[in-house]
A = this chain, B = another copy of it.
Amino acid sequence: MRNKQVILRDCVSGFPKETDMSIVESTLTLKLPEGSNEVLLKNLYFSCDPYMLFLMTNVEPGSVSYALPLSKPLIGFGVAKVLESEHKDYKKGDLIWGLTKLEEYSLVPSTQIQFKIEHTDVPLSYYTGILGMPGMTAYAGFFELGSPKKGENVFVSAASGAVGQLVGQFAKLTGCYVVGSAGSKDKVDLLKNKLGFDEAFNYKEEPDLNATLKRYFPEGIDIYFDNVGGKTLDAVLLNMRVHGRIPVCGMISQYNLAQPEGVTNLTNLMSKRVRMQGFVWSDFYHLYPKFLEFLLPHIREGKVVYVEDIAEGLENGPAAFVGLFSGRNVGKQVLVVARE
């Protein structure tokens, strides 16, 4: 079977470029090795996420990370349909989400499947976003690490992104005051008019982030949900309240830098007794059923909305991925590989 793929052509250094990837066609055998526990997937929706970059750069000596081999398809989360299965839990026609590859068809070990999709009255693409890894990331980071209380002050960076837009809505559901930062007027409008943030600002138009935060948070910040790191984090540290929490979800501002920016205000962790904690959603894997139970009714009732930026077709995969790092996407970046 012919299989179109987006492969890694060159290791990325600095900002990823479309030319770091290329589109090729390979072939795939439909027959699975018996007893292999493997599953053949038809990929439907692919999730373009910043962390994918970690697999595409040269691995530093001593790093725990691992690199994608050159000429192999990109790896990431996606929604797929099972075509063939050698694992008893999955059968032909099942819909799943999990780690797959950026190609039309993927042969994957069944262990890479995260969950079978049981609820299809919501858009299937949601399982790459609000109901997938980014959704769980927002949920675990905000509720488990952020320990929010009604009336607290919440700040979210990259607030219109796949994770940020949910953190803001979860904060409003909890009765918090929430302010988001983003990188364009359109995104700021989205935050205020569609996503229910109390306030939002375009960080590119704020020459003094410390002053900006003092304006929006005269009493300080209880929870900063960090998606960007760097200068924003540094300004936030000056504005945290005593016993504040900083779930560290991402530091996208630092990923392309040869030398990361220095964060200079960490003594505030001490004086304000702040808890700053990195996490990944999979540490909270066991909460997925509880998460669905919480979120599905809110989605069905329209109380939580989700903005997707949908690119069509594998050919547009490299551009969709690269766009994440210039903030071109508005909302969760999804790539449609096939509609069904």
Contacts and interface: CB of A to CB of B under 8 A. Distances in A.
Interface of A: 54, 62, 64-65, 214, 229, 233, 238, 242, 248-251, 254-255, 259-280, 283
Contact of A251 (B233, B259, B267, B275): B267
B277 A274 contact: yes
Contact of A273 (B267, B273, B279): B279
21 contacts: A64-B271, A229-B267, A233-B266, A248-B270, A251-B267, A260-B265, A260-B266, A261-B262, A261-B264, A262-B262, A263-B264, A269-B277, A269-B278, A270-B278, A270-B279, A273-B277, A273-B279, A274-B277, A274-B278, A275-B275, A277-B277
- Number of copies of this chain that the complex holds: 2
Given A262-B262, A263-B263, 20 more contacts: A54-B271, A229-B266, A248-B266, A251-B266, A251-B267, A251-B270, A254-B267, A260-B264, A260-B267, A261-B264, A262-B264, A268-B278, A269-B278, A270-B280, A271-B278, A274-B277, A274-B278, A275-B275, A276-B276, A276-B277
A3 to B, nearest CB: 32
A232 to B, nearest CB: 12
Nearest to A262: B262
Nearest to A63: B271
A17 to B, nearest CB: 21
Contacts of A233: 266
